[in-house]
Amino acid sequence: MKFEIFKSKSGEEFYFRLKAGNGQNILGSEGYTTKASCKNGIESVKKNATREGAYQEKESSNGKFYFNLLAANHQVIGKSQMYESKQGMNNGIESVTKNAPGATTDDLTVEA
């Protein structure tokens, strides 16, 4: 599992996503104005992933399931992909809890 830092299409904001070993996006961030803020968001995910009460389970209007990862101040740090079933969502939460704290980070905004 790894985090990826990338820029918006306009190049004005930084985002991160947490990808599973199979390449699926599990968790995505809001837009950040600086790369430093984006990196802080990743550190917040790592810190809060194992915190009791950090996950907010949701059901969308189309019947799919997703979750938000919350900081201790109840701010949303990341939002999951949509899952067809509640079990799928629970598996996603379990994966983030287990793997996010040790995940590596790839900065896709660095020029080669």
- Domains of the chain by start residue, with CATH: 2-107 (2.30.29.80)
- Assess contact for 82 and 66: CB atoms under 8 A: yes
pLDDT of residue 49: 96
pLDDT of residue 30: 92
Distance CA 97, CA 31 (A): 23
Mean pLDDT along residues 34-47: 96
Longest dimension (CA), the chain: 42
> Residue 109 above 90 pLDDT?
yes
> Residue 93 above 80 pLDDT?
yes
